[in-house]
Structure 1
Amino acid sequence: MILPLLLVGAVGGLLSGMFGVGGGFIMVPLLMWLASMDQRRAAATSLLAVVPIAAASAIGYGIQGEIDLSAALIVAGGALVGAPIGSWLLRRLPLGWLLWLFIAGMLVVAVRLVLVAPERGAEVEFSTGVLFGYLLLGLVMGTASGMFGIGGGVIAVPVLMTVFGMGDLLARGTSLVALIPAAILSSSINLRGGMLSMRDAAVVAAPAVPASIAGVWLAFLIPPAVGGVLFAALLLALAAQLAIRDLRKRRAR
């Protein structure tokens, strides 16, 4: 089973470095398909592997000065609050219409990224409104992660670019730092719950870390307009994955 885990890590690491996301949205289905894991174990394995992947990618962006550390810490604080809220809502709310509303939101963001190319080098002027906006973003990230089992990067990066006007590379580096604390917290909970194999996560992370560094290198080479289109394709793939998963559950019921 080592070869499938290595393959999953290489793919997830490359996408994480290129787009500033955790990579869980692609690693979870690949772990289920190639490594025959159930969804819960796949999600837990992916989440722990995300920690060194995001850290390595963030170092690459940080060396180039493409991290807003203050924004990252504020967003991370909101995500730490939102994650348990999402887990609580998952057990108590019918999530069908919420999921499709979330999918529709990703489609809108994807269209905007295609029509309006993100700027490179743009920074956000800090203010009280921006502070509350970052906290709200983190809250939404954490809640969506707990409810739908997705990483926060696919939410944080496009919102930081399209809503706050942050440059594409700065948004990716900031997102990677912001998602690390929640991933550590959730992984510790999964480990205590017996849902996590440290060995599997380590095997996934082994090729993912160098692959993520290669992904960061590619991110700096790709023009902002092309990067926006590629990220839009990433959002469309995630929306399709969530929609198919929900339709299959409905059909099974």
Structure 2
Amino acid sequence: MDLFAIGLNVLLGLMLGTLGGLFGIGGGLIAIPVVGVLFGLDQQVAQGTALVMVVPNVLLAIWRYNQRNRIELRHAFALGVTSFCFAIAGAAVAVSLDPGRMRIAFIGFLLVLAAYTLLRAILRPQPGGTELRYSWPWLSALGAGAGALGGLFGVGGAVLATPILTSVFGASQVVAQGLSLSLAAPSTAVTLFTYASHGQVNWALGLPLAVGGLLSISLGVKLAHALPERILRALFSMFLVLSAILLGMKV
């Protein structure tokens, strides 16, 4: 890969990192279909490569979100531990599945989440709060489900946890996004390790993306806290649809 190509990949990482910070997902959700379409990668390789960018982005985003809305350690621990354990199982299953079927399943997963999030933005526009409706042990169940799906689809589980935290636990969108990143951190790390051990990571592509993401994710976090709650939810829904469309181009 020449310097020009590396520079373009850093620029791509800048865009993905901004979106990752804005929606509290580390950039992986949009990176998977983008690298799959632009570089012709199989679903598993696209997921593994995206994780090279996601892991450091998630860690930086957690710090930035915590600066603005303090993340409760017990909540992060409850989500992170079960997410880590179940992400191992999800990733182990993912590397053995058919790439085409994986892509179709992922598209359906995104569209369901998009419809749910948009419906909540329309029907329940009132903002959530900083306190959770249910005690922290209930977060362990959410961490297990999100970790398993995160390991399966390579997105860290944050994309699933965010709408559950807003609807079931009553958190605001930005609080949910910050807390979801705590869930994503351990699960994305173990998922990347699993994909890499099976040779399903393009490091030459993933590392420049990671550099770009680290340079821009703080901007995304700043934008997330500047937008009204209802608009942020609607944008999150449209973002999911866009990701599904991009991914559908490879089916």
Q: How does 1:42-53 map to 2 (within 5 A)?
A: 42-53=46-57
Pick the aligned partner of 1:183 from 171, 185, 188: 188
Deviation at 1:156, TM superposition (A): 1.1
Gaps of 5+ in 2: none
Partner of 1:232: 237
Instruction: Return the alpha-carbon distance in structure 2 between the equivalents of residues 223 and 122 of structure 1.
Output: 15
CA displacement 1:27-78 (0-9 Å, x = unmatched): 1222233344443332212112111111111111111234233222211222
Find the aligned partners of 2:200 and 2:175 in 1 and give their Cα distance.
Answer: 34
Supply the RMSD in Å over aligned alpha carbons: 2.9
Q: 1:182 to 1:227 in 2, by over 3 A?
A: same
User: CA, structure 1 residues 87+202, in 2 after alignment: closer, same or farther (shift >3 Å)?
Assistant: closer
Aligned to 1:73: 77
Instruction: Decide whether the 8 Å contact of 1:69 with 1:174 is kept in 2.
Output: no
Equivalent residue, structure 2, for 1:164: 169
Moved more, 160-169 or 114-123: 114-123
Partner of residue 84, structure 1: 88
Task: Kindly tell me the number of residue pairs found equivalent between the two proteins.
Answer: 243
Is 1:196 matched with 2:204?
Answer: no
**Residue aligning to 1:143:** 148
Question: Does the aligned pair in 2 maintain the 1:28–1:43 contact within 8 Å?
Answer: yes
Report what 2:131 is aligned to: 123
Alignment counterpart, residue 211 of structure 1, candidates 212, 216, 223: 216
| Match among 107, 116, 120 for residue 115 of structure 2 | 107
Call closer, same or farther: CA 1:222–1:123 in 2, change over 3 Å: same
The TM-score, its normalising length taken from structure 2, stands at 0.83
Deviation at 1:123, TM superposition (A): 1.2
Match of 1:251 in 2: none
Q: Distance in 2 between matches of 1:148 and 1:116?
A: 29
- Confirm or deny that 1:223 pairs with 2:231: no
> Contact (CA 8 Å) 2:154, 2:188: kept in 1 or not?
no
> Residue in 2 aligned with 1:18?
22
* 1:122 aligned partner, one-letter code: T
Conserved in 1, the CA contact under 8 Å of 2:48 and 2:154?
A: no
Aligned counterpart for 2:179 among listed residues 174, 177, 202: 174
Contact 2:10 2:209 in 1 (8 A): yes
State the distance in 2 between where 1:98 and 1:183 align.
17
The one-letter code of the counterpart of 2:46 is A
Equivalent pairs: percent with the same residue?
Answer: 27
Say whether the 8 Å CA contact 1:18–1:216 is kept in structure 2.
yes
